[in-house]
Amino acid sequence: MRPAPAHLFPIVLAGPSGGGKTTVRRALLGRRSDLRFSVSATTRAPRPGEVDGRDYQYMDRATFERLIEAEELLEWAQVHGDLYGTPRSNLRSAWDEGLHLLLDIDVQGARQLRAVQPDAVTIFLLPPSYERLVDRLRNRGSEDRSSFRKRMRSALAELAEVERFDYVVVNDDLEDAVRAVESVIAAERHKLRRLTPDVMQVVRDLSDSLNGMLLASDEQEARNA
């Protein structure tokens, strides 16, 4: 797979289930037009209100395994007993449209993505406390007792990976968390190595003009001397 165009780095949101990845991602997509959400393939059953093709591509295990064999997934992992993966085509179509791909994936996926797309910016979303994490998951009402325990267990494994991430955002107040992610995107855009050809052209044009002006002024001084 070709590397990302420098200014279209993929953006990864990861962190414990219930930490707010879906909520932050929806808020970001609602207010920005430069992001394309990466719809993952999964073997998990849809939750009430989720829509096939918008939230996930839902499929059975055999279909998912065919995608793995055909090497159509950029990364994939087993999470809480189900398979989840990012179709390679998500990245291609985001770049073709000139957009950043926004991925909501687990820490195993983030690790694989860094290996194939080292330009990716990875953000770990932390719930502010254990109590808030548990409250949020309970209030979401999406998990039965056994699924809840699985998510708590994976939350521990996710936390162990926090130091591998580029940024950490605590999702206490939602608006603050979304703003923090937007600041990360803005700062990353201005990294020297990501400067676009347009910006480099401005640098060249400025340098040419400055050189021209200085040369003319030196000549004038020489004539006056």
Each residue of 1-35: b (16+ CB within 10 Å) or e?
eeebeebbbbbbbbbbbbbbbebbbebbeeeeeeb
Instruction: State yes or no: residue 75 binds ligand 5GP (CB under 6 A).
Output: yes
Helix axes 130-140, 145-159, angle to 10 degrees: 140
Q: What is the CA radius of gyration of the chain?
A: 22
The label of the residue with tokens 């703003």 reads 179
Instruction: State yes or no: residue 40 binds ligand 5GP (CB under 6 A).
Output: yes
* Residue number of the CB atom closest to ligand 5GP: 109
- Compare residues 45 and 192 and give the one whose CB is closer to ligand 5GP: 45
Instruction: State yes or no: residue 143 binds ligand 5GP (CB under 6 A).
Output: no
Q: Please tell me the number of Cα atoms within 13 Å of 155 on its side-chain side.
A: 19
CA 75 → CA 55, 140, 143, distances in Å? 18, 27, 25
Instruction: State yes or no: residue 139 binds ligand ADP (CB under 6 A).
Output: yes
The residue within the footprint of ligand ADP, chosen from 61, 140, 153, 179 (CB under 6 A), is: 140
Residues 107-136 that bind ligand ADP (CB under 6 A): 136
The residue within the footprint of ligand ADP, chosen from 174, 200, 206, 213 (CB under 6 A), is: 174
Instruction: State yes or no: residue 18 binds ligand ADP (CB under 6 A).
Output: yes
- The footprint of ligand ADP (CB under 6 A) covers 17-23, 136, 139-140, 171, 174, 177
- The footprint of ligand 5GP (CB under 6 A) covers 17, 21, 40, 44, 75-77, 79, 84-86, 104-106, 108-109
